[in-house]
Amino acid sequence: MQIGVPRETWPGELRVAMVPQNVKKLIQLGFSITVESGAGVAAGFADEAYAEAGAAVAADHGAVISTADVLACVRKPKAEDIEHLKSGVVSISFLDPFNEQSLVESMASQGAVAISMEMIPRSTRAQKMDALSSQANLAGYVTIIQASFHSAKILPMMMTPAGTIAPARVFIIGAGVAGLQAIATAKRLGARVEAFDTRPVVAEQVQSLGAKFVEIDLGEMGQTEQGYATELTPEQLELQREGQKAVIANADIVVTTAQLFGRPAPVIVGRDMIEGMKPGSVVIDMAVETGGNVEGSVLDEVVEINGVKVIGQGNLPSEVAKNASEMYSNNLFNLLTEFWDDESKTLNLDPEDEIISACVITRDGAVVNETIKNIYSGA
């Protein structure tokens, strides 16, 4: 089977779907691989490294796409590329199927088997393929590094002959994968960290990292089978906002990570809370790409409100493109090898398999994923 690795064309996207180390291992399994020239350069992987790993390096973007039996991408294919896909091609990417109905239906019409990396289930068996988590981990790290750059305060306590500097106070809202990594990074940098999550079950994880868990009584709460927080009622959202006001007012850095899988992010930090913060403070909205948690945040902009910087940068993993590419490539490698039939040298994507049924969106000319089908039909 021929794997094609095109150069990413999404604005600002520096990652590459496959790194030379995994290219070499896949070729040893029986795949052949063509990488578009320059695909890995922004992430620190030269064309020569791919050639040394055994891949063909091609300058023609269209040829890489049209000859692929498996198309490995970070971002969803461009609409103009879909018509050049082989019928039956296995296209793997962050497809964003909840918001890309037209694109998904075009892929179905083209006969593509579209795999959405967002839809990999959070199960023990699928953990090694979970690209959302691998990228969120890095995003949590990047967020704190960015916050430390923009903050008027240093993060650690510092004792000098000129006086003692108190540690920065950091408040993380949401203790999922990104939030926990943000907590860990802020603690390593010496900050005083507090965190809140609507799922009381994560309090122990927060405390194990050395942070204080802020308790706000929202009534009965829980999480989905996938481990995501359940959506709050309007009354619960208001309770959360009121409960976190005092913590936000005292914080030097606030990071919001609240996401609702497949739905717009909830607004949990109002402008009034930002106006109550000290000048020189920083708020980072990690959910800005899905609507935002922070009133006034703007995608890919730094907005100043009463001397407080509100940062809405998207695509945070791309800021550490080398490591993000390595982790995403590992996720893809694990996905491909999990379903590789060594005898026939083909992928066995059994529709009854729990992972395949969850992440395959289109197949045999139709949208087959039940969740996505129901959304498109309005059910």
Residues catalogued as catalytic: 122, 127, 130, 133, 228
User: What distance in Å separates the CA atoms of residue 339 and residue 113, rounded to the nearest whole number?
Assistant: 14
The partner residues of 269 in beta bridges, in order of sequence, read 294
